[in-house]
Amino acid sequence: MRFNFVLISCFLLVPAVLADKAGAWWDEDKGAFNYIVGSFFAPQLSGDPGSGISLWVAIDSGGCQTSDGGLTSGIVSTVTLNGTQHQGFLVWDPNSPLDFDITISTGDHIQITLNIIDPSRGSVSFVNLSNGQSVTKTFQASAALCGSEAEWMVGHGMTSGQQLSLAIFDSVSITGAAAGARGGSSYYPFGANLRVLYSGDEPGATHPAVTNTTAYSDGSLTVTYLGSQ
């Protein structure tokens, strides 16, 4: 079975702490979020070998009011001489990132769900929407989540502490995107805060946007590559 599950410590992907990301996010009251879900196709990339992108969903990315806790899970996709390769990961800040040892191929339709069971216990599920196989891992972390932020993002990946240069892609979409608290309100990309990627740290004439982000009322968002400018 290819969709087995092993956690390997420290592939050192740290997209969660990167400012360089494009997508949709909600910043609400504490407790607004205890789950988030999103699906995507593992993307076909081009560009220089070693460049890449990452797609992820997260709760409290960048920490919350009361602790450094933040839970992020997704894939990092990189350009290699043999095509695009994909690696699943999860990060519960401030702990080290972990790899999901699942063999993801370009075009695989993957759904990722984060569930917060209590502030320092959560589960991450990867479902292969093409064949229904899933893996769920429940784990505990020292830093509590407060459930005030939820996001669906596309951004740079990092390996071994180095930010990967952005690979070239047409567009990538996250569909079936929803977040909220069980029994509470639901939130979708449409109506959320949106952000795009810039060629530098700050937007401006010398750092034009390299992506555009559009959120649709069907629970999806698309990040379009505009060119490296």
**How many binding residues for ligand NAG (CB under 6 A)?**
16
Binding of ligand NAG at residue 108 (CB under 6 A)? yes
What mask of x and - would describe binding to ligand NAG in positions 132 to 171, judged by CB under 6 A?
A: -x--------------------------------------
- Contacts with ligand NAG in 53-82 (CB under 6 A)? 80-82
CB of 124 to ligand NAG, least distance (A): 15
Q: Which of 17-25, 102-110, 172-180, 185-193 is the region at the interface with ligand NAG (rule: CB under 6 A)?
A: 102-110
Q: Which contacts of 72-75 are long-range, i.e. CB under 8 A and separated by 24 or more positions?
A: 72/15, 72/16, 73/100, 73/112, 73/114, 73/124, 73/126, 74/15, 74/112, 74/153, 75/42, 75/104, 75/110
Residues 73 and 56 sit within 8 Å (Cβ to Cβ): yes
Binding of ligand NAG at residue 193 (CB under 6 A)? no
Among 103, 136, 228, 229, binds ligand NAG (CB under 6 A): 103
Among 4, 9, 96, 130, binds ligand NAG (CB under 6 A): 130
CB of 80 to ligand NAG, least distance (A): 6
The residue ranges that bind ligand NAG (CB under 6 A) are 2-3, 80-82, 102-105, 108, 128, 130-131, 133, 212, 214
